[in-house]
Structure 1
Amino acid sequence: MDKAHNINKFYALLLILLGSFGFIMRYVELGDMQFTALIPAVFGLILLSFTNGIKNENSVIGHLAGVLTLLLVVMSAVMLTKGLVAEFSLGRKQIIFLFVIAGGIYSLRAQFLYFKAQRRRKAKLK
């Protein structure tokens, strides 16, 4: 699973699962329909739709996926630090943020290496 499109697909599915898990657990525990828990799932759906573009080496879609992943990692890092400072505990929400951050960093690393290799291939063709 070393290709950027495979890692993107895996990360998108992870986001969909984590968002759905957070939404369902919130509903089971509190009986509350907290739709903001579905934000990772929405990001996951968008990234999943970008998978074919990344596979076909569409640089615009690849860069959009990178920017979207970076945005999600930064948002999750901010929310994680906010939650840790306020609660001083590592609960379900903080663990989900950690998974999103770790997966996002791995995905960004793969995309960066992919773009670097793509530039080398194009430079050799010229």
Structure 2
Amino acid sequence: MKAASANLLNAIVLIGAGLYGYFGIAAADGSHSLTALIPAAFGLLFLIMHKGVASANKVIAHIVVVLTLVLLVMCTMRFIKVEDWNAKKYVFLACMISNAIALIAFIGSFIAARKNRQA
């Protein structure tokens, strides 16, 4: 999977997970916590930066990789904290898988770019 495709997929999953967490899970609890929208905000940011990633802009790609790594760590920490296997835990799992796939795609594209430069 190319880095731009992985970034787009990650953005869509994050936006969906954030909106579901806020309007679905939080609405059922009656606790509209704005922290549920953090993945959606990151997803929106990744969508905004998608054009730069697709055009192989190094600075934007590295910013997206760092943000993806930060979000992966955040989601992993929250995933571990949730004890019951409920909808909230599955949302964090989806975010973790999406971020991991994007991170692997970015690292693969960085390695390929370095090999092409050396050749």
TM-score by length of 1: 0.89
Greater CA radius of gyration, 1 or 2?
Answer: 1
Contact 1:47/1:65 (<8 A) preserved: yes
Matched, 1:63 2:58: no
Structure 1 match to 2:52 = 53
- 1:111 is aligned, of 100, 106, 111, to 106
Q: Please give the secondary structure, in 1, of the residue aligned with 2:56.
A: coil
Contact 1:69–1:104, Cα closer than 8 Å, also in 2: yes
Partner of 2:32: helix, strand, or coil? coil
Superposed CA deviations along residues 49-94 of structure 1, whole A, max 9, x for unmatched, are 111111111111111111101100101111111112xxxx101111
RMSD over aligned Cα, in angstroms?
A: 1.2
1:78 matches 2:73: no
Q: Post-superposition, which runs of at least 4 consecutive aligned residues in structure 1 deviate over 4 A?
A: none
Residue correspondences, number: 119
- Residue 66 of structure 2 aligns with an amino acid whose one-letter code is V
Whether the aligned pair in 2 keeps the contact of 1:15 and 1:41 (CA below 8 Å) is: yes
Deviation at 1:123, TM superposition (A): 1.8
TM-aligned CA deviation for residue 31 of structure 1: 3.4
Q: Which has the higher contact order (CA 8 A, sep 6+)?
A: 2
* 1:122 CA drift (Å): 1.8
1:121 equivalent to 2:116? Answer yes
Q: Which runs of 5+ in 1 are unaligned?
A: none
C-alpha separation in 1, matches of 2:31 and 2:104: 36
Question: Residue type of the partner of 1:90?
Answer: W
Partner of 2:90: 95
